[in-house]
Structure 1
Amino acid sequence: MNALLLDLLPYVHKGYCCSQLLLALARQLDDTDNAGLMCAMRGLCHGIGQSGGPCGLLTGGAAVLGWLSSKNEEEPHPMIDAMTNEYATWFMERTQAFGGTGCENVSSGLAAAAGEPLPEGGMPPMELCGDLLAECWEKILDIHESYDLESARS
């Protein structure tokens, strides 16, 4: 199991999904607590409610970058589009072999790479997505650093 996922086990046991886990990491980085935002991120879980939509690591990562880069609700970072584009482009390249960025594509691809079956009709276990989650978090941190977001939130 990925070491980052071990730190997130309390959230995993509460049933948090990938997008929420990325926000949990961002809240630790920003030293803030926003329960409402965590609840809102739930809407991105499992390909947007098992609709076949994009993986929560993609949408959640973009949302986390937007949140980390904002000074307030009315003043987004001037480079937010470039940041989210960089993240999305990286994610699409990273998951290209899985046949798409949908939650089902990504989880099926991860399961196949691990030689594990995907639960029938269910969502992938977090252990399956843990390494990709860690890679996504590292990419978010790289973008965070390269755009000097340390001072963005007030």
Structure 2
Amino acid sequence: MDETALRIMQLAAQGFCCSQIMIKLSLDDMGEENISLVRAMAGLCEGSGTGDLCGVASGAACVLALYSAKGSAEEQALDCAPLLLAQFMDWFKGSATSWGGIRCDDIIAFNGGRKPEVCGNIMVRARETLLGILAEHNIDPSLPKEQAGAR
């Protein structure tokens, strides 16, 4: 078991859902804590509470926005922001056949019920993909957008 899988298991054992775990991993990368953001990410848990889009995918979209989107009136989004999301969602949709779909309810049904190892494996793969996309666009996941732009 690698370090990411272990951290995911620890966070899940603490009661965090997949979308919260995705953002917490990125905050960990940056050495930051943002309780309000993590709390807000709970709104994406279990397909926003309706079984729709998997919280890993919506959480990953938020992670990419954390590194690339506009966050204040003075700030500009990175030009690559839409591309980051498109790349991730293309990967997620393409991979989803192996875990049952892109909707939380479909993933649960396909796998015979809610199973931590299924969601954990999706999170590990999504995390690897996110980090690869960020690297491809020369975005350092250890730096918040404000600091990365100052380079």
TM-score calculated relative to the size of structure 2: 0.83
2:76 partner SS:
coil
Q: Does 2:58 correspond to 1:68?
A: no
- The alignment partner of 2:41 has SS state of helix
Q: 2:121 aligns with which of 122, 131, 137?
A: 131
Q: Quote how far apart the aligned CAs of 1:63 are.
A: 0.6
State the match for 2:51 in structure 1.
52
TM-align CA RMSD:
2.0
Over residues 50-109 of structure 1, what are the superposed CA-to-partner deviations in whole Å (9 max), with x where a residue is unaligned?
x13100011100110110224743322211111001101110010035553110112333
The offset of 1:41, in angstroms, is 0.5
State the SS of the aligned residue for 1:149. coil
Judging changes above 3 Å, is the alpha-carbon distance between structure 1 residues 71 and 126 closer, same or farther for their aligned structure 2 residues? same
SS of the residue corresponding to residue 51 of structure 2 reads coil
Residue aligning to 1:121: none
Number of corresponding residues: 142
1:11-90 equivalences under 5 Å are 11-49=11-49, 51-70=50-69, 72-73=71-72, 74-90=75-91
Q: Is 2:23–2:59's contact at 8 Å kept on the other side of the alignment?
A: yes
Q: Describe how 1:113-132 pairs up with structure 2 within 5 A.
A: 117-118=112-113, 124-132=114-122
Counterpart of 1:147 in structure 2: which amino acid? H
Contact 1:70/1:77 (CA < 8 Å) preserved in 2? yes
Q: Distance in 2 between matches of 1:99 and 1:132?
A: 11
Q: Is this contact kept in 2: 1:2–1:130, CA < 8 A? A: no
- Residue 3 (structure 1) shift: 5.0
Contact kept? 2:9, 2:120, Cα under 8 Å:
no
Greater than 6 Å deviation, 4+ residue runs: none
AA of the residue aligned to 2:77: P
Q: What is the rounded CA distance, in whole Å, between the counterparts of 1:108 and 1:5 in structure 2?
A: 23
Q: Which residue of 103, 124, 136 corresponds with 1:146?
A: 136
**Aligned sequence identity (%):** 27
Unpaired stretches in structure 2, ≥5 consecutive residues: none
Give the conservation status (yes or no) of the 8 Å contact 1:26–1:68: no
Structure 1, unaligned runs of 5 or more? 112-116, 119-123
Indicate conservation of the 8 Å contact 1:70/1:153, yes or no: no
